[in-house]
């Protein structure tokens, strides 16, 4: 193994999206020599696509907002399955993280008094999303990218080398984590450009690899979303939690076919857009669940008044949490009230003047004009659900983001689980990236310091084995091509473990996954190692298949409907099931096992933020015993 390129760092961050960059900045600011590794070019990670905004209770637009209200909304959105501690830290720290971006050069849209403007979003009680038009993710990633550059400039001044303490390894894919006993010791990967292998030695590794959407056919996610971090954690002995919860965003493009799945931001609804079926009816009024009934308008008139006067009116049902809206659209289409291409109609054209639409939603205007020949200032958009986000992820300690069971391994951002429970609110991901990215960087630095030089070592055999695995697809023969296996995987997950689930179908999915796994182990790729997408996909298949199996197994086991997991055969939420997390691991033979693990219970001061009546719709009888009748804090409800 001596011939491989090797790098030694204190902290290696895998992923250069919001979470990875924020983690790297923190580790470097704590004096760690830090590497950031990513599959794409620097500044192109998936985070760049985020549109709507970053949720943070800064109370710039509505002074009633505070972290307790944000916490409450997050728990409601996640149907009380969230890690309460993560939800608390997130709500408390998000404002600081947003303000800090401004000090690094971000330019958010402003309020009339010159502060950061905040917009309404589904499930958020007050206008809470800091944004820049509908390109917030670009602003976030560019700001963090430029902060990294600023730190590199500092190093250049001090050491004459931009990369003395912080280096970005772009277009480099990690395929294995390396360990020394139970501890993490580094990572193994290849340069996409040359196909050459590279070994990173580091006592701390932070996974920030994002999501899994590329296992689904209709998705808003890019090719990067192959669940690499999820799979790497599993293979390294870590566990995944909440994998059955996959968010289908209610509004993806449906036409033309080549853009099916591309996101239509929720801001369209936050800024006044409404959903109609083929009969012209605002159907969302028929889909307000009991737990939310008191908070949502009952008439179109009231809903319309809310935009101007939110204090004395209730919000429109188009702004229910995403899982509710996605299911409603699904039902409308199924019952024959869909739009010509199998979606529903999302209309802003009759609600806002054309110039306001172009100013507030410039990239949506652009996207529909360029890709679908639709002028959203003059006609409605056709939209339908699209696989968007995975709530499930690496099981971590809420305060340090340390992966359970693997010392030295951390996870932050979409790859980590727990924070969002069974359903994520819009805008809560970008804030999650910043809050927990920073915390992971901090904890990784503390971990490295605590080792006091007792660093783990990379074993030569592990590197040889990693190399062998990576080269395996260059086999002779006429076996499957990886693109074919990938397409079947996507179809399987879309059809059988999608938005509405049934036991029989999930069992069938598991059978098919088993067969696909065998085929994936035999795929053959052509050409050589230099920038070869066929080879890259062949290696990604292992990860996608592992993660898909976790989703299917956990979904089959959870016999209730909650958030991003809807069972036709168990249509109601169960207070008993709410007490359990499902945790996936790999057993000694490499098989996925799923175990129940009790959810940590919320301390009384946080329970006290809710009315007992509301708690009663989530918790079991015995959990309610002893709780006060009236809420004990947290401003107006």
Partner 1 sequence: MTYSAHFRIWRGSAAGGSLQDFDVDVSEGEVVLDIVHRIQATQAPDLAVRWNCKAGKCGSCSAEVNGRPRLMCMTRMSVFTEDEAVTVTPLRAFPVLRDLVTDVSFNYTKAREVPSFAPPEGLAPGEFRMQQVDVDRSQEFRKCIECFLCQNVCHVIRDHEDNKPAFAGPRFFARLAELEMHPLDTVDRRKRSQEQHGIGMCNITKCCSEVCPEGIKITDNAIIPMKERVADRKYDPVRWLGARIGRRGDGGAEV
Residues 22-61 that bind ligand FAD (CB under 6 A): 37-40, 45-47, 49-53
Q: Which does 176 bind (CB under 5 to 8 A by kind): partner 1, ligand FAD, none?
A: none
Q: Which residues pair with 253 in a beta bridge?
A: 383
SS3 127: coil
Query: Active site includes 249?
Result: yes
Burial of 593 by CB count in 10 Å (0-12 exposed, 13-18 middle, 19+ buried)?
A: middle
Copy the structure tokens of residue 123: 């499930």
Question: Which residues have CB under 8 Å from 43's CB, separation 6+?
Answer: 16, 141, 142, 145
For ligand FAD, what does the binding mask look like between residues 182 and 211, x meaning CB under 6 A?
Answer: --------------------------xxx-
SS3 187: strand
For partner 1, what does the binding mask look like between residues 299 and 328, x meaning CB under 8 A?
Answer: ------------------------------
Minimum Å distance from CB 142 to partner 1? Answer: 7
CA distance 97 to 105: 13
Minimum Å distance from CB 49 to ligand FAD? Answer: 4
Minimum Å distance from CB 331 to ligand FAD? Answer: 24
CA distance 456 to 158: 29
**Position 41 contacts partner 1 (CB under 8 A):** yes
For partner 1, what does the binding mask look like between residues 126 and 155, x meaning CB under 8 A?
Answer: ------xx-x-xxx--x---xx-xx-xx--
What is the per-residue DSSP string for 53-90? -EE----SS-TT--HHHHHHHHHHHTTT-S-HHHHHHH
Minimum Å distance from CB 555 to ligand FAD? Answer: 20
Question: Which residues have CB under 8 Å from 413's CB, separation 6+?
Answer: 15, 17, 18, 19, 20, 208, 209, 210, 429, 432, 433, 436, 437
Among 81, 86, 130, 174, binds ligand FAD (CB under 6 A): 174
Query: Active site includes 542?
Result: no
From the candidates 147, 230, 269, 578, give the one annotated as an active-site residue: 269
**Position 533 contacts partner 1 (CB under 8 A):** yes
**Position 491 contacts partner 1 (CB under 8 A):** no
Copy the structure tokens of residue 576: 């008993």
What are the φ and ψ backbone dihedral angles of 84, each rounded to 5 degrees? Answer: -60, -35
Nearest to 167 by CA among 308, 53, 62, 27: 27
Q: Which does 174 bind (CB under 5 to 8 A by kind): partner 1, ligand FAD, none?
A: ligand FAD
Structure-token match 């009680």, residue found = 125
From the candidates 46, 135, 230, 249, give the one annotated as an active-site residue: 249
Burial of 604 by CB count in 10 Å (0-12 exposed, 13-18 middle, 19+ buried)?
A: exposed
Minimum Å distance from CB 257 to partner 1? Answer: 6
Number of residues that bind ligand FAD (CB under 6 A): 42
Among 291, 354, 371, 465, binds partner 1 (CB under 8 A): 371
CA distance 327 to 553: 22
**Position 605 contacts partner 1 (CB under 8 A):** no
Residue ranges in contact with partner 1 by CB under 8 A: 40-44, 46, 48-49, 58, 95-96, 99-100, 102-105, 107, 109-110, 113-115, 132-133, 135, 137-139, 142, 146-147, 149-150, 152-153, 156-157, 162, 193, 222-224, 255-259, 262-263, 363, 366-367, 370-372, 481-483, 525-528, 530-535
Residue ranges in contact with ligand FAD by CB under 6 A: 14-20, 37-40, 45-47, 49-53, 136-137, 173-174, 208-210, 220-221, 224, 228, 263, 388-389, 413-415, 426-430, 433
Name the residues annotated as catalytic: 249, 269
């Amino acid at each position: 193994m001596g011939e491989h390129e090797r790098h030694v760092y204190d902290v290696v961050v895998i992923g250069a999206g919001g979470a990875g960059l924020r983690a790297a900045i923190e580790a470097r600011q704590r004096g760690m020599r830090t590497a950031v590794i990513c599959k794409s070019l620097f500044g192109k990670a998936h985070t760049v696509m985020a549109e709507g905004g970053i949720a943070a209770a800064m109370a710039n637009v509505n002074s009633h907002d505070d972290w307790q209200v944000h916490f409450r909304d997050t728990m409601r959105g996640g149907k009380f399955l969230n890690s309460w501690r993560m939800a608390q830290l997130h709500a408390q720290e998000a404002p600081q993280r947003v303000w800090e971006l401004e000090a690094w050069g971000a330019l958010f849209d402003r309020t009339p008094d010159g502060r950061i403007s905040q917009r309404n979003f589904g499930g958020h009680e007050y206008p809470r999303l800091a944004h820049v038009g509908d390109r917030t993710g670009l602003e976030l990633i560019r700001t963090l990218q430029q902060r990294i550059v600023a730190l590199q400039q500092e190093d250049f001044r001090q050491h004459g080398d931009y990369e003395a303490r912080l280096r970005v390894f772009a277009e480099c894919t990690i395929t294995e984590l390396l360990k020394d006993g139970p501890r993490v010791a580094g990572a193994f990967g290849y340069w996409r450009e040359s196909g050459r292998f590279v070994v990173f030695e580091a006592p701390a590794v932070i996974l920030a690899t994002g999501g899994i959407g590329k296992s689904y056919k209709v998705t808003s996610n890019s090719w990067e979303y192959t669940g690499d971090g999820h799979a790497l954690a599993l293979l390294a002995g870590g566990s995944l939690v909440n994998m059955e919860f996959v968010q289908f965003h209610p509004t993806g493009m449906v036409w033309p076919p080549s853009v099916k799945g591309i996101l239509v931001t929720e801001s369209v609804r936050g800024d006044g857009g409404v959903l109609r079926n083929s009969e012209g009816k605002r159907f969302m009024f028929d889909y307000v669940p009991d737990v939310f009934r008191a908070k949502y308008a009952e008439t179109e008139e009231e809903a319309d008044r809310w935009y101007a006067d939110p204090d004395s009116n209730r919000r429109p049902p188009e702004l229910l949490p995403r899982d509710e809206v996605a299911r409603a659209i699904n039902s409308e289409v199924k019952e024959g009230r869909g739009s010509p291409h199998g979606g529903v109609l999302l209309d802003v054209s009759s609600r806002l003047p054309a110039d306001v639409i172009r100013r507030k939603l410039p990239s949506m205007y652009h996207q529909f004009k360029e890709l679908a020949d639709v002028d959203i200032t003059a006609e409605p958009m056709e939209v339908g659900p699209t696989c968007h986000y995975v709530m499930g992820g690496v099981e971590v300690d809420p305060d340090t983001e340390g992966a359970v069971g693997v010392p030295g391994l951390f996870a932050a951002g979409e790859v980590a689980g727990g924070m969002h429970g069974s359903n994520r609110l819009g805008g809560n991901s970008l804030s999650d990236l910043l809050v927990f990215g920073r915390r992971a960087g901090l904890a990784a630095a503390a971990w490295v310091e605590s080792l006091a030089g007792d660093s783990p070592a990379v074993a030569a055999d592990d590197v040889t084995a990693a190399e062998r695995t990576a080269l395996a697809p260059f086999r002779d023969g006429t076996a499957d091509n990886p693109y074919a296996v990938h397409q079947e995987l996507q179809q399987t997950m879309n059809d059988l473990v999608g938005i509405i689930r049934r036991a029989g179908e999930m069992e069938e999915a598991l059978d098919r996954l088993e067969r696909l796994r065998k085929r994936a182990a035999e795929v053959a790729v052509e050409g050589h190692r230099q920038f070869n997408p066929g080879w890259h996909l062949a290696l990604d298949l292992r990860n996608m298949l592992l993660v898909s199996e976790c989703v299917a197994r956990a979904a089959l086991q959870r016999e209730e409907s909650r958030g991003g997991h809807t069972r036709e055969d168990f249509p109601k939420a169960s207070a008993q099931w709410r007490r359990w997390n499902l945790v996936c691991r790999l057993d000694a033979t490499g098989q996925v096992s799923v175990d129940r693990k009790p959810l940590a219970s919320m301390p009384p001061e946080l329970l006290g933020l809710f009315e007992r009546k509301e708690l009663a719709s989530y918790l079991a009888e015995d959990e309610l015993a002893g709780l006060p009748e009236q809420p004990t804090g947290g401003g107006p409800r």
